[in-house]
A and B are shown apart, each in its own frame.
Chain A
Amino acid sequence: MSDITRDDVAHLARLARLAVSDAELDLFSGQIDAIVDTVSKVGEIPDDVPPTAQVVPQTNVLRPDETEPSLPRDVALAGAPAAEEGRFRVPRILGEEL
């Protein structure tokens, strides 16, 4: 059993910035527990198997250090929920940068 509890799901929701409701917590904790239980089948695989993270065959793909046009500022800001003084306006930020 994977034993994903309601508290675990609440913690995951916080980490993922999802303000889930109590009703969702009830629903999701059951579903996520069942899903994690199923996918935990990969645990059978021996540790000595090497991992595969991606299947691209090439290496050292590099871009030349040459400038390309940037977006016009009004285009960059066009989709913003709020903008001010040529910048993206966002609600106040709590805490220092990590």
Chain B
Amino acid sequence: MTGSELISLDAAELARRIHAREVSSVEVTRAHLERIEAVDGPAESGVHAFLHIDADGALAAAEAADRAIAEGTPASPLAGVPIALKDNLTTTDMPTTCASRILEGWRPPYDATVVARLRAAGLVPLGKTNLDEFAMGSSTENSAFGPSRNPWDLTRIPGGSGGGSSSAVAAGEAPLALGSDTGGSIRQPGAVTGTVGVKPTYGTVSRYGLVAFSSSLDQIGPCARSVLDAALLHEVIGGQDKNDQTSVGAPLPPVVEAAEAGARGDLAGVRIGVVTQFSGEGYQPGVLAAFTDAVRLLGELGAEVVEVSCPSFAYALPAYYLIAPSEASSNLARFDAMRYGLRVGDDGERASDEVMSLTREAGFGAEVKRRIMIGTHALSAGSYDALYGKAQKARTLIVRDFTAAFETCDVLISPTTPTTAFAIGERVDDPLAMYLADLCTIPSNLAGNAALSVPCGRSADDGLPVGLQVMAPALADDRAYRVAAAYEVARASVDTAPRIPELRALETSR
């Protein structure tokens, strides 16, 4: 088995072979480390999915997994499979930077709950992936350490904020990755890189150790190349955690079972609602065409497809760009040069206040500063009622729209994002244009329900990946998995795109 074959296999298939001892976890891990070595750098022209690679740690974890398997005691169905971690998850053996200068080199004294669960399940952490600084962005261009690139076209963005995780998975640098999704940061990168990205129901995956952006919206979830892989990872990381009091006690929905059931290709009796608000102006024709094709395929699988209207979704983007910055302005106040991270301007004369201001000015990028100031404004006494308060009311209306829609539909679908991957640099000077990338994904964060993006073929106009978003009620994540898995099988029979790009183009073009 060659390295290039190993890096193209799904996690489920890799796990099967490792557990059958056809290949060792060490060999699989080494193949991925070699792939990273080959395509990730240099930062100026490679995929640049990773901010930190821990080859020694990964090989040690792989050896441990191989030993357990040899003894007949694999820790979990994914034991021995490599994984990449978004760099806003705390890890004791690797730095956690959130792609920010203010945290450069910070080594947390504790593991995030999801990281601890991965380790306990015998997965093999390869390294930490790039993101928009503090997960604020839709392109990974806001990383203080330079953008990641879309493996399908290295001049384009891999989505954001989790562009490092999506590009790593798409480029064959890791079969699995973890992301965090506050307004679409797992799903939109998944869509534009042709991978699967899942935002689980709010509260079903512990946020302990996820550096908070917007606490009432943030949710950790899986990034993978197949629906089943995402489900397997979902079951490893999910479930209640005493360290996160917002985590729910309800049993995790049976997502692996649902993915397997869906893969049998029968959606008879499933009612699917097409959200009418998510089309029209601003939507790329090739994206809409791919989506229409998906609707047709779902119908062929036996689903009953209807149109549903969610008029309050018009308030989702404005509400999100009030709530998320408001919470962020508070969450990011702790980066103040006193206890950890960067300190600038401490000349023995300046007072703490000044050192805080100089450090935050030097340590935060433009988007982070913008959002902190918007959030500070939205929460201030004079604006609270008109801005933050109204955004909370918008949230109520959006929850109501979902509730009504789910009375008639089992799941709702839409394009994951209005366009395919745009060019690096195209929207950096226009925050409002950038924000539109999350138009379709934000409502599920505001309502806290489950949503995922599954590859939806290629856009006819530029040949780039398109994503299909499937949304399900809270704690019914399994429904989204079932529909996505069925669609994935049907799509595969008509799709001709390679699973992993060759990545030769850019290596020579730069």
Contact = CB atoms under 8 A, between A and B. Distances in A.
The reply to whether A and B meet directly (CB within 8 Å) is yes
Interface of A: 4, 8-9, 12-21, 24, 27-28, 31-32, 34-36, 38-47, 49-58, 61, 63, 71, 75-76, 78-82, 88, 90-94
Contact of B353 (A17, A63, A80): A17
B57 to A, nearest CB: 19
B203 to A, nearest CB: 5
B85 interface: no
Nearest to A88: B339
Contact of A56 (B248, B342, B392): B248
B374 A32 contact: yes
Interface string B321-342: 1100000010001001111111
B396 interface: yes
A76 B391 CA distance: 38
Contact of B216 (A18, A34, A53): A53
B390 A43 contact: yes
Interface stretch (B256-264, B295-303, B344-352): B344-352
A31 B370 contact: yes
B203 A56 contact: yes
B351 A93 contact: yes
Interface in B428-459: 431-432, 447-448
B216 A51 contact: no
B121 interface: no
Contact of B356 (A17, A44, A45, A61): A17
Interface in B242-287: 242, 245-246, 248-249
Contacts of B339: 79-80, 88
Contacts of A4: 377
A32 B357 contact: no
A63 B242 contact: yes
Contact of B321 (A20, A38, A50, A80): A38
Given A40-B386, A45-B393, A16 B373 contact: yes
Contact of A19 (B351, B357, B372, B374): B357
B288 interface: no
Most buried by A among B321, B354, B377, B397: B377
Interface of B: 106-107, 109, 202-203, 216, 242, 245-246, 248-249, 314-315, 317-319, 321-322, 329, 333, 336-343, 346, 348, 350-358, 360-361, 364, 366, 369-370, 372-374, 376-377, 380, 386-387, 389-397, 399, 431-432, 447-448, 474
A4 B329 CA distance: 18
A54 B364 contact: no
Question: Chain B interface mostly helix, strand, loop or mixed?
Answer: helix
Contacts of A36: 374, 377, 387
Given A16-B372, A55-B447, A88-B339, 4 more contacts: A41-B315, A61-B245, A79-B339, A81-B341
B396 A28 contact: no
Contacts of B203: 55-57
Contacts of A16: 329, 333, 360, 369, 372-373, 376
Contacts of B361: 18-21
B107 A50 contact: no
A38 B321 CA distance: 9
A91 B202 contact: no
A42 B373 contact: no
B357 A42 contact: no
Given A31-B370, A79-B341, A91 B355 contact: yes
Contacts of B338: 81, 88, 90
Contacts of A32: 370, 373-374, 377
Given A56-B246, A94-B353, A50 B393 contact: yes
Nearest to A46: B393
A39 B392 contact: no
